[in-house]
Structure 1
């Protein structure tokens, strides 16, 4: 399959590498020039669960994309605020049958993607894989994970299942979901706790989880997500969600991991996606007349931190 990874940061690099190793024709598109240049000069370097690997993958800067490549599948891994620009950049790679799988954090991204491909071609999903940037052209990939995905339009189930098979054959453990919105909200709860909290506190997930106050804070945030989700027809299993979040504290699995928002703001001094995670819940809370004090305050704190650090 001819696959475009649109947003080839840590997670995009993981998917691109694994799909490439499974025999797919993969190109990477990203907006970080140093990263693109390093991949083209030295290959994509990865520590894959302790194994040092180098993959020869073509990489392109999104603003200088001169490539004839009729994509069968585009997997979108940009930051939420970069989605529109990325779709505009890769539009020449899209044709009538191109499928777009959106694996972004947050909620509502299909509204942007539908400007570029028909509704029938859009797949929504989420992933529980983790990845970290070491530097330009170099990533650290550890642990295990999975992908849930579903077609957005009715009647496209077989297409979604075909994409899930391609991902699974690459070791990405994908499965078709009958209720992807549930999965997306469940993942949003993980991001809505671990990302913002670890970023503000400058700590990894285990470090936060080992504090006395961790459980109470997480439970309050998840309650706000669940209240908003319920209005939108999604009944979250709160104990299940909390168990998944608290599983992130385990130092023997992924507890030593710094979430992507921490990597963005603290490590790389970049603006965050907080408006599309906790901020989205706060906005929906206003719309539905639901109190969301924790999500609102955490969103404000992250924006304050962005301003203090001069993030761009």
Structure 2
């Protein structure tokens, strides 16, 4: 399958590498020129569960990709949420009527942008529990196991979704078809909303946060706000399941030693974060549904304050 990885950061590099190794025709598209130059010169380097590997995968700057001859069967979106529209504009010449788009971005509501570029029936929403760390331009650290849940948005397009599931599974990405992806997306958003911003502000990995005296109480308050907003939209979430998933992430033998992507963006790379598309969405929807969201509000404001202090761009 001819696949575009749109957003070749830590997670995009993982998916690109694994799909490339499964004999798909993969290209990476990104806006970080130093990263692009490093991959073009030396290949994509990865510590892949302790094994040092190098894969030669074509990568292009999104501002120049319109000049290449490539017609995508599948686009997997891994941009930051605030970069989504610009990325889709950049790759629009590589899309056609049958191109499928799988959105694996953190956050909620991205289909409203994607439908401006491909037919609604071609959109797949998903979430992933895989992790990846960027160790520098052209180099990533891939460790542990993960999974993907995905679903078609268009009615009667289950066969399309299952074709994508099969391609992902051939690459070892542990994909599953979901009949209720919005519930899964909100569940993932709960995990991100309870962990990403706090680890970023506290300057710690997930396990270190989980070991603190106050972690459980803070997490439960944040999860309660997410569940209240989900309930208002008739999206079902099981609080005990969500809390169990968050607590499982504290385990240093699974992903506990991982620093969330928000920490990598702001603290390591001095970039603006996706907080407005995670906790900030809950704040906006809270105002819409007249539901109080004090923890998400304060966390969103603190992250934006930290962005200003650091001069993030």
- The TM-score with structure 2 as length reference comes to 0.99
How many residues matched? 312
Which residue in the other structure is 1:18 paired with?
A: 18
Deviation of the 1:193 alpha carbon: 1.0
Which residue in the other structure is 1:27 paired with?
A: 27
Superposed counterparts of 1:182-261, under 5 Å: 182-261=183-262
Deviation of the 1:241 alpha carbon: 0.4
Superposed counterparts of 1:66-215, under 5 Å: 66-215=67-216
Which residue in the other structure is 1:302 paired with?
A: 303
For 2:69 and 2:183, locate their aligned partners in 1 and report how far apart those are by CA, in whole Å.
Answer: 37
Unaligned runs of 5+ in 1: none
Deviation of the 1:306 alpha carbon: 0.2
Which residue in the other structure is 2:6 paired with?
A: 6
CA-atom RMSD in angstroms: 0.4
Which residue in the other structure is 2:264 paired with?
A: 263
Please list every run of at least 4 consecutive aligned residues from structure 1 whose deviation after the TM superposition is greater than 2 angstroms.
Answer: none
For 1:180 and 1:253, locate their aligned partners in 2 and report how far apart those are by CA, in whole Å.
Answer: 24
For 1:252 and 1:33, locate their aligned partners in 2 and report how far apart those are by CA, in whole Å.
Answer: 34
1:57-89 CA-to-partner distances (Å, cap 9, x unmatched) read: 000000111211000000000000000000000
For 1:311 and 1:276, locate their aligned partners in 2 and report how far apart those are by CA, in whole Å.
Answer: 17
For 2:245 and 2:139, locate their aligned partners in 1 and report how far apart those are by CA, in whole Å.
Answer: 29
Which residue in the other structure is 2:60 paired with?
A: 60
1:113-156 CA-to-partner distances (Å, cap 9, x unmatched) read: 00000000000000000000000000000000000000011010
Task: Give the SS at the match of 1:63.
Answer: coil
Which residue in the other structure is 1:43 paired with?
A: 43
Which residue in the other structure is 1:286 paired with?
A: 287
Deviation of the 1:171 alpha carbon: 0.2
Deviation of the 1:252 alpha carbon: 1.4
Deviation of the 1:280 alpha carbon: 0.2
For 1:251 and 1:175, locate their aligned partners in 2 and report how far apart those are by CA, in whole Å.
Answer: 25
Task: Give the SS at the match of 2:250.
Answer: coil
For 1:311 and 1:269, locate their aligned partners in 2 and report how far apart those are by CA, in whole Å.
Answer: 5
1:276-310 CA-to-partner distances (Å, cap 9, x unmatched) read: 00000000000000000000000000000000000
Deviation of the 1:233 alpha carbon: 1.2
